Amino acid sequence: MRTHTCGELSKAQLDQRVKLCGWVDTVRDHGGVIFIDLRDRYGLTQIIFDPNDSREAWDLAQSTRGEYVIQAEGTVEARPAEMANPRLATGEIEVRCDRIRILNKSRTLPFPLEGKDAEKVSEDLRLTYRYLDLRRSPMQENMRIRHRMSQAVRNYLDQADFTEVETPILTKSTPEGARDYLVPSRVVPGSFYALPQAPQQYKQLLMMAGVDRYFQIARCFRDEDLRADRQPEFTQVDIEMSFITPEDIYALIDGLIADVMKAVGKGDIQTPIPRLSYEDAMNRYGSDKPDVRFGMELVELSDIFEETEFKVFRQVVGQGGAVKAVNAKGLGGVPIRVMDEWTAVAKEWGLGGLAYIRAQDDGEWKSPIIKFFSDTEKEQLKERLAIEPGDLVFFAADQREVANKALGHLRLLAGEMAGVIDDDQFAFTWVTDFPLFEVGEGGRLISVHHPFTAAHPEDLALLETEPGRMRAQAYDIVMNGVELGGGSIRIHDPEVQSRIFEALRLPKEEIEDRFGHLIRALSFGAPPHGGIALGFDRFVMMVAGEDSIRDVIAFPKTQKAMDLMMNAPATVDAKQLRDVHIKLDLIES
RNA sequence: GGGGGCGUAGCUCAAUUGGUUAGAGUCCCAGACUGUCGAUCUGGUUGUUGCGGGUUCGAGUCCCGUCGCUCCCGCCA
């Protein structure tokens, strides 16, 4: 139907007879000559119709409207120099057409695809007519970026001798973790499959199968509430390897990220990617996913205030808590109103309040608490925080975890306000040595990563005594303050695995029922193994410079997990329900 | 489950802090125009102010409920 695409013609094809197909982007009708911008995925080409060339074609051209699909035939001509359009790749030429076929008409679109309003169209409209939204060039570009990234991942892992294996979508519900999406069984009444939250157990079983190096670009499903970076179905680059230590994972992923970033033209990533222990990340950045594009690190001050006159600080230190602060360089001039907002944020994250010092340009400190500080304390503060005129210092005094987290959030606000976060920079970091357990309600242990995670070799002995202090052989990869992925070395000893399940206080029957196959598999010569999973949608989102993964997923769902285009989920026929043995008794009408 | 924001013409937004007949740009329709590329010019059509109640002489505006979209907390091993 076409000899060329709308993106490829140039002076190289001068005087050639060509056929183009595409969508009518805009029509500029001058009464005589008519200009049409013809668009396809590859670009935009100006085609012109002159009544003197073909009255018939000119008439048809005049009847076209936006988004009509046409085929046009004509000759490639150079534009006069002053008529060239430097903003178009094809801007030096145009196609003088004497034939046109209208392949399909289009109703007026429910929203504009181009122009100043196109970027602001409400998202529910875009989602209802997603196929139209996807015609927009930013969306086309996002789909291309995603494609290039997945290709780069496949190439890299293929060259590293990985085998891509598909694992089941219809699988089994496991306790803990996210809520499962369930699929009723027709053949076994009253039984349900679950869609995988991740191919976790399958990939470990593949190691026991001797696959040695597995990967999958895997769809995962979690029935939890949505966010800008969370969809009910999402994609992971899922990786597992045998006979490895964390170092092997770091090296592999460093290389993978560098390759992928290169493939999308985002330059050279410095490898090895720097590492931070979980403890350091929390102490220095107040987050397990630190944005390391800027400084403003958290500074320890507890020792300075052990015996201070300022009661609030002294008591916190006396009770084993921490006094810490951040020097938000150059923000000394922020209005009190902002400090009030930040105080509210501080309280949301558990602080009693937010003390601060504003170092004025003349060097004088303004602060509600400074009167309590001795000269020595002030001197130590100034030195340790490197306070200069024009700086803003804010303090947190609380239990160490609370102070860290609160300052971590405030640090991000401060960095943003100071304009020190470079949107074009991509800063990766590993966070290592996560704790194995966190302590939940009633002292109950919960796996921080998942219950198959191996403990740090030195810490296994603490399992029955101080499990809360155990470190895991678990790691996250973080990009610009966003958790890109995480993984761990897995337990390969069935006895250790059983001890962990017991420590998690899972009932014996449940362990057998839900994890029996895994423990059994471990007992048949399971190799030491470990892996990682990367959140592919987030990765693409960051590279594409979007704020939501919805913009890098072709057909995403709304915050209520609805597909507005397909109108899913939806009710089904009574017969379909009978087939799967389901009766809708609990729905209140 | 909780907190915040938004909902007015096909689209993007106004509408004097309760006051006459709800406007603008754009899109769309018609006409004019042979070098535009956000074409231009002239004219025209377009409203259940998300929905349902309430207060009031009077509601886009205030109150209650509800629906939808969105951001966040909880949740997401």
pLDDT in tens, A94-115: 999 999 999 999 999 999 998 8
Global pTM reads: 0.95
Q: How distant is C1' of B42 from CA of A65, in Å?
A: 21
Query: pLDDT tens-digit profile of A163-220?
Result: 999 999 999 988 778 999 999 999 999 999 999 999 999 999 999 999 999 999 999 9
Nucleotide nearest to A226 (CA to C1'): B76
- Mean pLDDT, range A325-340, rounded to an integer: 90
pLDDT band at A28 (very low <50, low <70, confident <90, very high): very high
- Mean pLDDT, range A225-254, rounded to an integer: 97
Question: On chain B, which bases lie within 7 A of the protein's CB atoms?
Answer: 1, 10-13, 25-29, 32-40, 68-77
Give the highest mean pLDDT range of A5-9, A337-341, A517-521: A5-9
Q: Which single residue has its CA nearest the C1' atom of nucleotide B11?
A: A111
A462 phi/psi in degrees, rounded to 5: -80, -5
Nucleotide nearest to A448 (CA to C1'): B77
Q: Which single residue has its CA nearest the C1' atom of nucleotide B13?
A: A117
Residue A92 CA: distances (Å) to CA of A12, A13, A30, A316: 10, 11, 21, 71
Q: How many CB atoms lie within 10 A of CB A441?
A: 6
Query: Going by DSSP bridges, is the β-strand pair A213-221/A233-242 parallel, antiparallel, or unpaired?
Result: antiparallel
Nucleotide nearest to A438 (CA to C1'): B77
Nucleotide nearest to A447 (CA to C1'): B77
A582 pLDDT more than 60: yes
pLDDT at A169: 97
Q: How distant is C1' of B49 from CA of A566, in Å?
A: 29
pLDDT at A505: 86
Query: pLDDT tens-digit profile of A523-536?
Result: 999 999 999 999 99
Beta strands in A419-481 (DSSP E): 428-432, 437-439, 445-447, 474-479
Q: How distant is C1' of B76 from CA of A236, in Å?
A: 15
Cα gap A470→A436, rounded to integer Å: 6
Query: Going by DSSP bridges, is the β-strand pair A322-328/A275-277 parallel, antiparallel, or unpaired?
Result: unpaired
Q: How distant is C1' of B61 from CA of A272, in Å?
A: 60
Q: How distant is C1' of B24 from CA of A118, in Å?
A: 18
pLDDT at A549: 97
- Mean pLDDT, range A510-538, rounded to an integer: 93
- Mean pLDDT, range A445-473, rounded to an integer: 92
Q: How distant is C1' of B20 from CA of A77, in Å?
A: 60
A453 pLDDT more than 90: yes
DSSP letter for A109, please: P
Residues 6+ apart with CB under 8 A from A378: A365, A370
Query: Going by DSSP bridges, is the β-strand pair A482-489/A275-277 parallel, antiparallel, or unpaired?
Result: unpaired
A583 pLDDT more than 80: yes
A138 pLDDT more than 90: yes
Nucleotide nearest to A66 (CA to C1'): B27
Q: How distant is C1' of B73 from CA of A42, in Å?
A: 44
SS3 A251: helix
Q: How distant is C1' of B50 from CA of A263, in Å?
A: 45
Q: How distant is C1' of B61 from CA of A337, in Å?
A: 29
Residues 6+ apart with CB under 8 A from A334: A358, A392, A417
Nucleotide nearest to A50 (CA to C1'): B34
A337 pLDDT more than 90: no
Nucleotide nearest to A561 (CA to C1'): B69
Cα gap A21→A327, rounded to integer Å: 59
Q: Is A486 exposed, middle or buried (0-12, 13-18, 19+ CB in 10 A)?
A: buried
Q: Which single residue has its CA nearest the C1' atom of nucleotide B74?
A: A225
pLDDT at A115: 86
Question: Given the structure tokens 């995925």, which residue do they identify?
Answer: A41
A34 phi/psi in degrees, rounded to 5: -120, 130
Cα gap A107→A21, rounded to integer Å: 19
In sequence order, what are the beta bridge partners of A506? Answer: none
Residues 6+ apart with CB under 8 A from A258: A268, A269, A271
Q: Is A129 exposed, middle or buried (0-12, 13-18, 19+ CB in 10 A)?
A: middle
pLDDT band at A588 (very low <50, low <70, confident <90, very high): low
Query: Going by DSSP bridges, is the β-strand pair A163-164/A213-221 parallel, antiparallel, or unpaired?
Result: parallel
pLDDT band at A440 (very low <50, low <70, confident <90, very high): confident
Q: How distant is C1' of B68 from CA of A109, in Å?
A: 21
pLDDT at A589: 46
Nucleotide nearest to A33 (CA to C1'): B34
pLDDT at A585: 82
Q: What is the mean pLDDT of chain A?
A: 94
- Mean pLDDT, range A155-159, rounded to an integer: 98
